[in-house]
A and B are shown apart, each in its own frame.
Chain A
Amino acid sequence: MEASLLFERFESRLKKQILEFIGDREDPFDLEFLMNQCLQPVSDIMIHNALCELADEGKIIRLNDRYYLSTRVLMRRWLRQKIKNLEDDVIFDELEIPRRLIRQVTRLLKERPELGYIDVADFVRDAIRRAVSKLRM
């Protein structure tokens, strides 16, 4: 068998192994990380080339000059965020509040952090809950 063919097979197997290894990895990874994790004696140039090919094929995303992330992980995160936004649209409704009142609430939040309100919406929700329960009594 020709040496170039063997080399091609090896490259293809390396790419496959790298992809299997980082396919579900949530954290970004770099060449150094793969070098340390690699059980076979593979040169950094070969891993670098494999990463470039995987990036060209869209299987991993190049985040910057050093780090990469699996496209599957990125897509999963993006979908998760999209679903969360959709859920928010179903669960929440927007209400127009006069800015004059919002300014007063903002001032209260700044001056009285011990009250524990996270933001204006948190205060407004508490105000509504209290008003509703007062009317029930």
Chain B
Amino acid sequence: MPKTIAKTEAEYAPVKIPKSLLDEVDKAVGKFGYRSRAEFVKDAIRSLLREYGMYKSESEEG
């Protein structure tokens, strides 16, 4: 059990986001079928990284 907690802490890092922007995210989450804020934000980051030609999937990262 402690192993799982350590793994989670190591895999995620906190980022500060304005609450007003997260309110917009919450509206989009309900409206466009995202499961959570986190899913929406991860998708948004991937999308912008892809736009700049810098996104690598987990398998590509190795």
Contact = CB atoms under 8 A, between A and B. Distances in A.
Interface of A: 88, 90-102, 104-105, 107-108, 111-112, 115, 120-121, 123-132, 135
Main secondary structure of the interface of B (DSSP, over half): helix
Interface of B: 10-22, 24-25, 28, 31-32, 37-38, 40-49, 52, 54-56, 58, 61
Contact of B13 (A97, A104, A126, A128): A97
B44 A128 contact: yes
A115 B54 CA distance: 13
Contacts of A97: 12-15, 41-42, 45
B12 A96 contact: yes
Given A104-B49, A132-B24, A93 B16 contact: yes
B48 A130 contact: yes
A95 B32 contact: no
Contacts of A129: 21
B25 A124 contact: no
Main secondary structure of the interface of A (DSSP, over half): helix
B34 to A, nearest CB: 10
Contacts of B44: 124, 127-128, 130-132
B41 A128 contact: yes
Nearest to B51: A130
B15 to A, nearest CB: 5
A1 B47 CA distance: 85
A102 B49 CA distance: 11
Contact of B52 (A96, A100, A115): A115
A93 B19 contact: yes
